[in-house]
Amino acid sequence: MIRDAAGRLRLGPSVGLMTCAAVIAAITSITIGAYPLAVADIASVFLGRDAADPVASMVLIEVRLPRFLLGFLVGAVLAVSGAILQGLFRNPLADPGLIGVSAGASLAAIAVIVLGSTWLGGWLAFAGEWALPVAAFVGGSGTVLLAWRIANRAGQTSVATLLLAGIAINAVAGAATGLLTFYATDEELRSLTFWTMGSLGHATWRDLLVGAPFMILALVATPWLIRPLDAFLMGESVVGHLGYRTDTVKKVAIVVVGLGVGAAVAVSGLIGFVGLVVPHLVRQLLGASHRVVLPLSALLGGTLLVAADSVARVVVSPAELPIGLMMALIGGPFFLALLLRTKVI
Amino acid sequence: MIRFFAVLTTIAGLLGAPLSGASEEPRVVTADGAITETVYRLGAGSLLVGVDTTSSYPLATDDLPKVGYLRALPFEGVLALKPDMLITSEKAAPQENLERLSRAGVKVEKLPSAMTPEAAMQRIERVGQLLGRSEEADGLTRDLRADIKKTQALASKRGFRPKVLFILAAGNHSVMLAGKGTAAEALLDSVGADNAVSGIMGYKPANREAILASRPDAIVVAESTPGQFNAEDWPGVMRLAAWQSGHRLVADGMLLLGFGPRLPQAMAELNQVLPVSSSVAANDS
């Protein structure tokens, strides 16, 4: 039986199914795309032999492989960040967008695009091709620090203040982004639009080199948060009774989210809904224990983003849909269906 | 029996001829409306296997696969068309994909944006060289240069530089004014006219009061789709003396701002609506 007495799915078979889905998504992502590749060529490339199609190895190794890995990492990090924030704030609507991380990261990136030829020229000359990703990461982490400073008074961190600060930061970052788009030339404006809709279409190994260490660090630190976040579910006072310092827990959680989301935005632009939808789905299916929610959010988030990206690159072939758009198209209706089915979040 | 084989080989020959012929010619993807127009004007439209979304003229582009917007060119999408060459402008992005295309054996040619008639002509000649159509290109630019010269000679007879309000109609009720550093200003300059609006860079949302204050000698409206600009929505524009006296031009944005092979036509159409003396502004005040 796949369901237990409480009507939840059993853990073992579910993990098996999700792993299968992840493997299928991975294989799909590597085998399909606008450029048709014969199965024999794909096999040859991965077996280290010469493929009949001379560009086969390039398409696979330089384009599809980094794209798949980056997509999976970004999806996993966004979903885990959503799960952590939801646990920390005990608020089912929490999302990396909520405390302003995504907005801060994207503001910094947009500033580089628009002001790169004027005020930020020195930065661009210094950082070269790394200017945009590094700026996005700094923007994201900086926003987390700012929110943290505002919410932290006399050694105490107020989650309510943090949420409110997040709203204000989002508003200010949004307005600053709007101001920059006003000053942007027509041409810059268009590259902004594509960037704010998110894309994995230009993922390279260099993007992985820039983003992956931060994202992997965030994911590696996550298991430490499992037990304290479970304690948070029962109320903040319980956390202390279980021997955790609430402030340390909050700090670790926020740094993890800042690192992960900053890096994710830096390499792939704004991709919404993963952080909101995936943890919910896992909780609905398997219960709220973070021992389950965190790792499976990572697995399912990565799978979902990779699958959506596979669709995004073939559905309007030879052109591509922005992945952020794709996620909203899939995630929005899915989330509504989830709401209708359960009536409560 | 022999006749049967003869028929077979003839059929095979007929089938094979166009195929082998096509393989000698390069397969080309263009990503820039003006460059696409140029390819067609050089009679090389049959070489095209794909274009970007800014390429909407001539109508034949409708039948070609669209690889997306030239600032977000997909690697696999372009490569899937198996092009020998991608001709695009310096606006093309992302750079990662262009580099990888070039390493996958596609000849990636980024041509500089043209902001003067002469640069536009040189770009046409460059496209001609790339496609092995240099003679056609030289012939075309000789004619176009003559047309440009004719228009500029007419323009120079005007004793003054008219001030022109250049409006970009981009969507529902969305109207932008052209400022410094735009192709619009470059077009005005090519026929000896100045921008009536000073102090803005690029294209900025129009301020109705600024339109009234600009007191232009003529008005140009560039539409992204025909019939988009409804003057009745813009009483400020209609009330301008230049509009009422017919010193106005409403035309396709790609024609006016592309700086492609239709540039002489754009210059001539613009020059025609410019007043011969600056009486318009004087009457208005």
For chain A, the domain total comes to 1
Same domain, B202 and B87: no
Which domain range does residue A109 map to? Answer: 11-342
- A3 is a domain residue: no
* CB pair distance less than 8 Å for B78 and A186: no
Same domain, B129 and B172: no
294-333 of A, contacting B, C-beta below 8 A: 313, 316-320, 322
* CB pair distance less than 8 Å for A35 and B103: no
Which structure tokens are listed for B171?
A: 């969507």
Single out the residue in B141, B172, B197 at which a domain terminates. B141
Query: pLDDT, tens digit, for every residue of B34-72?
Result: 999 999 999 999 999 999 999 998 999 999 999 998 888
Same domain, B210 and B125: no
Domain of B259: which CATH number? 3.40.50.1980
- Name the DSSP class of B191: T
Domain of A278: which CATH number? 1.10.3470.10
Looking at residue A244, its amino acid is Y
- B236 is a domain residue: yes
Q: Is B166 left (phi over 0), alpha (psi -120 to 50) or beta?
A: beta
Looking at residue B175, its amino acid is V
Same domain, B122 and B180: no
Query: How confident is the model at residue B22, as a pLDDT?
Result: 46
Same domain, B126 and B208: no
- B15 is a domain residue: no
Single out the residue in B79, B113, B141 at which a domain terminates. B141
Which structure tokens are listed for B229?
A: 């600009």
Closest CA to B187 of B145, B235, B152: B152
Q: Which residue has the tokens 């990492």?
A: A73
Contact B70, B258 (CB under 8 A): no
Query: How confident is the model at residue B170, as a pLDDT?
Result: 74
Contact B218, B247 (CB under 8 A): yes
- A293 is a domain residue: yes
* CB pair distance less than 8 Å for A190 and B69: yes
Contact B30, B55 (CB under 8 A): yes
Same domain, B104 and B169: no
* CB pair distance less than 8 Å for B76 and A59: yes
Contact A92, A345 (CB under 8 A): yes
For chain B, the domain total comes to 2
Q: What pLDDT band is residue B19 in, cutting at 50, 70 and 90? A: very low
| Predicted-assembly ipTM surpassing the 0.85 threshold | no
Contact B44, B133 (CB under 8 A): yes
- A43 is a domain residue: yes
Helix boundaries (H) for chain A? 11-31, 39-46, 56-58, 65-89, 101-115, 121-127, 131-151, 159-183, 186-196, 205-221, 226-233, 236-241, 246-268, 274-286, 290-314, 323-342
Average pLDDT for residues B220-238, to the nearest whole number? 85
Tabulate helix, strand, coil % of chain B (nearest 5): 50, 20, 35
Query: pLDDT, tens digit, for every residue of B98-154?
Result: 999 999 999 999 999 899 999 999 999 999 999 999 999 999 999 999 999 999 999
Query: How confident is the model at residue A301, as a pLDDT?
Result: 96
Single out the residue in B141, B172, B201 at which a domain terminates. B141
Same domain, B196 and B279: yes
Query: How confident is the model at residue A129, as a pLDDT?
Result: 66
B194-195 vs B203-205, strand pairing mode:
unpaired
Count of CB atoms situated within 10 Å of the CB of B23: 9
Question: Rounded distance, CA B165 to CA B146, Å?
Answer: 27
Same domain, B98 and B192: no
Closest CA to B191 of B279, B281, B263: B263
Average pLDDT for residues B259-273, to the nearest whole number? 97
Q: What pLDDT band is residue B13 in, cutting at 50, 70 and 90? A: very low
- B16 is a domain residue: no
- B149 is a domain residue: no
Same domain, B196 and B266: yes
Which domain range does residue B81 map to? Answer: 24-141
- B79 is a domain residue: yes
Q: Which residues of chain A fall short of a pLDDT of 70?
A: 1-8, 129, 154-157, 186-187, 190-191, 193-195, 342-345
In residues, how long is chain B?
285
Query: How confident is the model at residue B77, as a pLDDT?
Result: 94
Same domain, B38 and B124: yes
In residues, how long is chain A?
345
- Using CA atoms of B242, B245, B250, B255 in order, give the dihedral in degrees to the nearest 10: -80
Contact A131, A162 (CB under 8 A): no
Query: pLDDT, tens digit, for every residue of B199-217?
Result: 888 888 888 888 888 899 9
170-189 of B, contacting A, C-beta below 8 A: 181-182
- B10 is a domain residue: no
Query: How confident is the model at residue A5, as a pLDDT?
Result: 61
In A, minimum Cα distance to B170 occurs at: A186
Torsions phi, psi of A156, nearest 5?
-110, 140
Same domain, B196 and B117: no
**B107 and A CB contact within 8 Å:** no
Query: How confident is the model at residue A149, as a pLDDT?
Result: 81
Which residues of A are less than 8 Å from B103 in CB distance? 58, 62
Query: pLDDT, tens digit, for every residue of A140-157?
Result: 878 877 887 888 776 666
- A192 is a domain residue: yes
Query: How confident is the model at residue B183, as a pLDDT?
Result: 93
Q: What global pTM score does this model have?
A: 0.82
In A, minimum Cα distance to B82 occurs at: A35
In A, minimum Cα distance to B181 occurs at: A185
Q: What pLDDT band is residue B278 in, cutting at 50, 70 and 90? A: low
Distance from CA of B104 to the nearest CA of A (A): 6
Same domain, B52 and B111: yes
Closest CA to B120 of B259, B267, B273, B285: B259
Long-range contact list for A227-231, CB < 8 A, 24+ apart? A227/A290, A229/A84, A229/A87, A229/A88, A229/A253, A229/A290, A229/A294, A230/A87, A230/A289, A230/A290, A230/A291
